[in-house]
Every structure is written in structure tokens, then in C-alpha cells.
A and B are shown apart, each in its own frame.
Chain A
Amino acid sequence: MKRPIRWTVALTAALALFAGLVLLPFWLVLTGSVKAPAEIIARQPTMVPHSFTLDHYAKLLAASDYPVYMMNSLIVASVSTLITLLLAIPAGYAFFRMSFPGRETLYRAILLAYAFPSIVILIPLFGIFAKIGLIDSRIALVLVNVAFALPFAVWLLRSFFAGIPAEIEEAARLDGGSPFIVLRRIMIPLVAPGIAAVAVFAFVTAWTEYVFASVMILSDAKRTVPVGFSGIIGQYQIDWGLLLAGASLSILPVVVLFAFVGRWFVAGLTEGAVK
């Protein structure tokens, strides 16, 4: 369809506006992290850095606990993602494939988990974790993260499984595949985009989780980036360079994850199967 030129201009302008709203803060953080301290707090902000220094990064990695926080966050987020996937894939498949009493009700009910703000369950959960000795343990964070990511993950994966034509599964059954083999060899490769989406969702949720991490973790050595990092800020003064360098680095794992799973987001994976 041919579009009038004024529409093209208007759409491009609108797109640029929203892109700017999203991208400008990132730009300021990234460029700020390499500016000299005086330029960061200059009255007239500079869009393009006039000075260049890696001092903030050096200080962050050498003189603070940031590397420890980073490692904690990586462990917690990776393990949370892995467990979420290990549980959500069979659960999503079961919700799609098996018929059991109350399936539809349960399927609709799982999203109710998001009806409660995390703050509401924080105190009872703290009580439970205190009783079983999970306070100040990274396991507690993994449990919480998995519990929060799982309902959406199951819900999303079921709809991905439902998008696979029934004949493909039937053909695999006729070929002699056991349910586990059919899941592993046929179904999982076909829902790879869904799995990638769930992995990114679970990782980012865990990576950015603040409330539980700030309450459940007591010792500095077990803090994750969001909590530990906020400690860096307030200790004596706000070191803007350090803050911006830390913020820039904390984006890195998520960017790497996206780059890694991006190739799974291939449209039309089932194309050619039927019709």
C-alpha cells in the first residue's frame, strides 16, 4: 500500500520522539560514566562528552564490593531462570496436552498470582523463611524469583505449545516417540521462541528484583546489584561517576542475554510443517 508522504513524515517524527524518550536516559548514563567528575555535575549538561576517563570503572571494580554484587546477581538470576524453565516447560506442556479435572480453572487461576503486590506477601514470607533458616541466603531469592516468574511462564508457554499443529505431535507418536521424547525432540525446538521469551522475562525479573533482596539478605557479601549498589550511593556522598559506571555495567548481562537468545526469536519456525 502506498502511504502519503505527510503520513510517513508524521509517523517517523512520532517514532523518533518515543525512541528519544526511551534512549536518551541510556545515552546520558553511558556517556556520563566516562565523563570527568566536573563535567558530570556541570551546570550545562553536555550531550557529547568533552572529557574521557575510565577512572569511575576502575574505582568501581577495585575499591567497592560491586564485583561481589555482580556475581551474586548473576548466580541468583541464572539459577532462577534455569529453574523457572525446568518447571514451566513441562507444566505448560501438561496444561496443553493432558486433560485433568479443573485444568481450565487452574490455568486461569495461575495468573491470579500477580493480583497481589509483592509487598503484601513480604512479611509472611519473611516469617516462613526465618523459621526454615533461609534468611540471608541466596536460595531464598531464587525461590521468590521462581515463584513470581513461573505463573506467567507457564501461561505463555502453554499458548506457544497450543500453536503447534496437533498432527505434528500425532506423527511423532506414530513414529514411536514417548511423551518425553516428543517433548524434547519435537515440541521444545518448536516452542524455542517462547522459551527464549520466558528466559529473558525470568532473568530480567530476577536481575532487577529489589524488595525481597533488600529484606531477605542481611550480609553485605550476599547482596545483589540493585540492593548493594544502592548502598554504594548513600554511604558518604553521591559519587555520580561511580553510580553511572555501575548502572552502565549492570545493563551488560541483560544485553548479552538478549544478544544470545535473540536468534531464537525467529518468526515462522513451524512454517513448512503443515499446508
Chain B
Amino acid sequence: MGEVTLRGVRKSFGSTEVIPPLDLSIEPGEFVVFVGPSGCGKSTLLRMIAGLESPSAGTIEIAGRDVTHAEPADRGLAMVFQTYALYPHMTVAQNMAFGLEMAKVPAAERAEAVRKAAEILQITELLDRKPRELSGGQRQRVAIGRAIVRDPVLFLFDEPLSNLDAELRVQMRLEIARLHAGLAATMIYVTHDQIEAMTMADRIVVLRKGVIEQVGRPTELYSDPDNIFVAGFIGSPRMNFLPAAITGQGQEGHVLVDVPRLGLSGLPVPLRDPGVRQMGEVTLGLRPEDFGHPETGDRTVELTAEVVENLGGTAYLYTDAGRDAAIVAEVPRRALPSLGETVSFGLRAADCFLFGPDGKRL
């Protein structure tokens, strides 16, 4: 069982601070996903945990031991790289056994460990092949197998699926989730794909510019985001953000909001923190799937369909050709609007999020 604790970990390259001081604690057996746009520092953070980069300040503990200055191999972890990083001149079996060989494990035990891992990943028939004879998905399995044989307390995955095609990605996603359930090991997984984060994580760490924006279970991040960045990053298609204004206080921690784009005024939206006193310009967030049937909800809004994206199972209506200003609403696939048609939706005030001018959730 592994537990990872970061205290005041900071990283700068030269005078550029990539990660300002950061604290994070990961529980034993947890599957934690670091997610964020490219350049947000998630890979750097992972590499510091792995020992491939050394932090500029702060301490890193794994399983209760301070490993801040320990060699990567002495940290009891294994890492799967985005590019697989297999040893091209060795067979699959040699690739998987190399770490054990370095740890001076006897040959018979090595062979047994490799055989077991190969069975788990169903790559037994590939053991004698060289990496160049394998497909992308098979290579990724071998890379995971190389991590498994070492029986680490902690698995690190650095965007392991981004080189695979869409179908294989879904398959490997399930496989890694199954592996986590089977091994009950602590795993840290880095991705820029919020779907991977949502589907696999016990807890998600959303990063932006080296700063943790929010940590929480996938459903928490989805239904209760701390700020406009997390709200926009989690969920696909992304949340609609509309300029709005608070015009007054309602009852029981509600504020009255005008949303000119939707033609709404005096919408009583609940505040997360009823104590907040905020007036004036705000941003209203509303997920595409929260546009409901016109007979449900507190208010009715009308949207004109300029583009309709039909995904088969569901469909999305887009207003306004200008992409930034477009409002996206989910429409039932049985009632696909034609282009230019105006559609009525019911809207529940409780589904709306309010964000202040600084992006913080109100």
C-alpha cells in the first residue's frame, strides 16, 4: 500500500516558476488523476514524484518515507510512459524482466513474475517478440506489464493512452480500471482528457498553471465546481457561460439574476455560500444537458438552432455561428430540430452556477 504526500513542493526551471508551492495527499489504494490543459504542470508533478525531476523546494513522501532526494528506483514505484519507452533491442519478456534483473531477483522468480503479469494482460504469446513487431496497443500492454512485474507500491501513468486510436483507448481505459481494482495499488494517472479523468478516477486533481484548482471525486467536480475553470474543463460539451447580472437578493440564500442572452430576468439562483453579498456583473454557468423539456423547470427559454450535431444517441443544438458566443443545448434525439427552428426549453434555476468576476464560484 502506498501513500503519497507532497508538502510545499515547488518547481522552477531557471527563473520560470512552473509549479508554485503545492500540497497534496494521496490515500493508499486510491486512483488519482491529474488533469489539466497542456503546460499545466501535471507531467512535471508526476516526474517529481517519480524522481525524474527534483523539486526546487518541499518534500515528497511515499509510504511514509521521505524520498525527496531518493533515486527513482529506490522509491518503490513503476511508471508507464506516454511513448511506452520499451527497450527496442530486447524481447517483451526481457523488457518486463529488466527491472527485476536490476533488483537481483533470481532468474526463476523473474520468469514466474513475467509469466503472471503476461497472463493478467493477455500478452503471453508475445513474450518472445521484439517491440517493433507489436502494435501500439500491444506495446502499451507490455509497458504496463513491465510496471506490474515489479509489484510497486505506486503506479504512475503519464498520458499512457494518448498515442492509441479512439477504440483502443476505451478498451485500455477499462483494462487499467480493472487492473486497479485487481491490484488494489495506489495509482496516479496524468491526462489532458477529462473523459479519462471522469471515468477512471477515485479523485481528480485539476491543475492550471501549476496550481491545484480543485481536488475531488469526479461527481463533485462535475456537480459542484469551485471555479469557472473547473466548471468549463470538466464535462463535454463544456458548460455554457453567459454574461449575467445580480439585481437583488431573493429568499433563503438566493439571488435574482438577469440573463439577457436567454431573455431572463429575476431568475432566483441559489448561492453556494448564502453569506456572499455580490451585486452586478457575474457569469452564469449552465450545462448543455440541463436544458430540459419545456414543461419542466422554473422558466422557459427559446433557442434557435443554427447547427445541430447528431451523435446518434444524443444530439446538440448550437445557436450563433460565432463559436465563442454559441449556446449549446442537448436535445432529445427523437425531437431533432431542423435548422433555423426555434426550440423551447425548460430551465431549473437550481441547475445554474454563478461565478464572480474573478472566476470564483458564488
Q: Which residues of A contact B (CB under 8 A)?
A: 165, 167-168, 170-177, 181, 185-186, 189-190, 268-275
Contact = CB atoms under 8 A, between A and B. Distances in A.
Most buried by B among A175, A270, A272: A175
Interface string B125-141: 00000111110100100
B136 to A, nearest CB: 8
Interface in B80-111: 81-89, 98-99, 102-103
B244 interface: no
A43 B134 CA distance: 64
B88 A190 contact: yes
Interface in B137-162: 139, 146, 150
Q: Give me the 8 closest cross-chain CB pairs, A-B, nearest first.
A: A272-B132, A272-B131, A274-B83, A176-B73, A167-B85, A176-B102, A175-B99, A273-B88
B55 to A, nearest CB: 17
A271 B132 contact: yes
B39 to A, nearest CB: 18
B234 interface: no
B88 A167 contact: no
Given A167-B81, A174-B73, A270 B99 contact: no
24 contacts: A165-B85, A167-B81, A167-B82, A167-B83, A167-B85, A168-B88, A171-B85, A171-B87, A173-B52, A173-B73, A174-B52, A174-B99, A175-B98, A175-B102, A175-B146, A177-B98, A181-B102, A271-B88, A271-B132, A272-B86, A272-B131, A274-B84, A274-B86, A275-B136
Contacts of B83: 165, 167, 273-275
B40 interface: no
Contact of A172 (B78, B89, B98, B130): B98
A89 B149 CA distance: 32
A273 B85 contact: yes
A268 B102 contact: no
Nearest to A182: B102
Nearest to B86: A273
B79 A174 contact: yes
Contacts of B52: 170, 173-174
A175 B78 CA distance: 8
Nearest to A273: B88
B248 interface: no
A272 B102 contact: no
A268 B132 contact: yes
B73 to A, nearest CB: 3
Contacts of A171: 79, 81, 85-87, 146
A111 B253 CA distance: 75
B102 A190 contact: no
Contact of B85 (A168, A176, A181, A268): A168
B133 A272 contact: yes
A105 B72 CA distance: 31
B87 A186 contact: yes
B92 to A, nearest CB: 11
Contacts of A173: 52, 71-73
B199 interface: no
Contacts of B71: 173
B84 A174 contact: no
Interface string B225-263: 000000000000000000000000000000000000000
Contacts of B132: 268, 271-272
Nearest to B158: A167
B163 interface: yes
A270 B133 CA distance: 12
Contacts of A168: 85-88
Nearest to B147: A174
Contacts of B134: 272
A155 B82 CA distance: 30
Contacts of A273: 83-88, 131
B33 interface: no
A255 to B, nearest CB: 27
A109 to B, nearest CB: 25
A171 B146 CA distance: 10
A172 B88 CA distance: 12
B131 to A, nearest CB: 3
Contacts of B88: 168, 190, 269-273
A176 B79 contact: no
Most buried by B among A185, A189, A268, A269: A185
Contacts of A167: 81-85
Contacts of B89: 189-190, 269
A271 B134 CA distance: 11
B50 interface: yes
A41 to B, nearest CB: 54
B86 A174 contact: no
A177 B79 contact: no
Nearest to B97: A175
A178 to B, nearest CB: 8
Contacts of A177: 73, 98, 102
Contacts of A185: 98
A171 to B, nearest CB: 4
B236 to A, nearest CB: 26
B86 A170 contact: no
B139 A272 contact: yes
A176 B85 CA distance: 15
Given A171-B85, A273-B83, 17 more contacts: A167-B82, A167-B83, A167-B85, A172-B87, A173-B71, A173-B72, A174-B52, A174-B73, A174-B78, A175-B73, A176-B103, A190-B89, A268-B132, A274-B81, A274-B84, A274-B86, A275-B136
